[in-house]
Structure 1
């Protein structure tokens, strides 16, 4: 089942499509993080301002250096010891669509521990865009049942995993981290 869903989602993403999928936090809308056209479709679906960038998911922390120019050693410690899913905003974004890079050159990255996300990212050999499965300004859905029909109908594929899990999920903790190792919480 998991392998089949990874394959279906991969085929959609490979063709430039966008998917609705479960993560280790809340449900996300995603695509290939190097495909600017697909990313623009997500901005349009969410009715989200372009300056509010989205995050990328990786399957392993050793891949950070492929997408961030200078990774502070503290970043690895924060990822390893975080009790909850952690998104790090780091300067020096590279090798992703310019649409994902903040005005200051930073990018938000999370290493996902969700088996579907990990396997899909491994198959893609690229980061996966992740943004909450809601229209901008509306509350983030805590589980699949709270996702609006507008979002479900606006994607090219809805992953058939975890849809019946009604437990309340919450977004990741977000921290900004500088190359010198200084960091601050943006969202706890």
Structure 2
């Protein structure tokens, strides 16, 4: 577990469009704030990922979706209200009305 000082450094890094390395359930992943284009571009560079391949966005709650410009359809709402959440649930999203090209992944707590 990180100390308060370490957490403050991580938050400052992300707030300044930095990229961080974090553990997931199976691998280590790169993370950044999706609203920071410079950080997102850096992830593409670090991963040598083609621009045509979308990145996932991880959220801690479905309440974050409207701020990302993502409309929640009936099927998605059923899944988000299911026993699968919280958990490793990944939903593809139509991003035509969003600021992001995304795959959405619910977090675990």
TM-score normalised by the shorter chain: which range applies?
0.7 to 0.9
Larger radius of gyration: 1
2:15 maps to 1:14: yes
**Please, which runs of 5 or more residues in structure 2 have no aligned partner?**
none
Q: What SS does structure 1 have at the residue aligned with 2:14?
A: helix
Residue 9 of structure 1 deviates from its aligned partner by 1.2
Q: Aligned in 2, Cα 1:41/1:113: closer, same or farther, shift over 3 Å?
A: same
Q: Is the 8 Å Cα contact of residues 19 and 31 (structure 2) preserved in structure 1?
A: yes
What secondary structure sits across from 1:37 in the alignment? helix
Equivalent in the alignment of 1:32: 33
| 2:95 pairs with 1:94 | no
Which blocks of at least 5 consecutive residues in structure 1 are unaligned?
A: 102-106, 115-188
> How many residue pairs get matched?
105
Question: Are the aligned partners of 2:44 and 2:50 in contact in 1 as well (CA < 8 Å)?
Answer: yes
Contact 2:65–2:71 (CA<8 Å) still a contact in 1? no
Per the normalisation by structure 1, the TM-score is 0.49
TM-score, normalization by structure 2: 0.79
The whole-number CA distance in structure 2 between the counterparts of 1:28 and 1:57 is: 11
Runs of 4+ in 1 over 3 A off after TM superposition: none
TM alignment of 1:54-65, pairs within 5 A: 54-65=55-66
More contact order relative to length (CA 8 Å, sep ≥ 6): 1
In 1, the alpha carbon distance for the partners of 2:94 and 2:71 equals 8
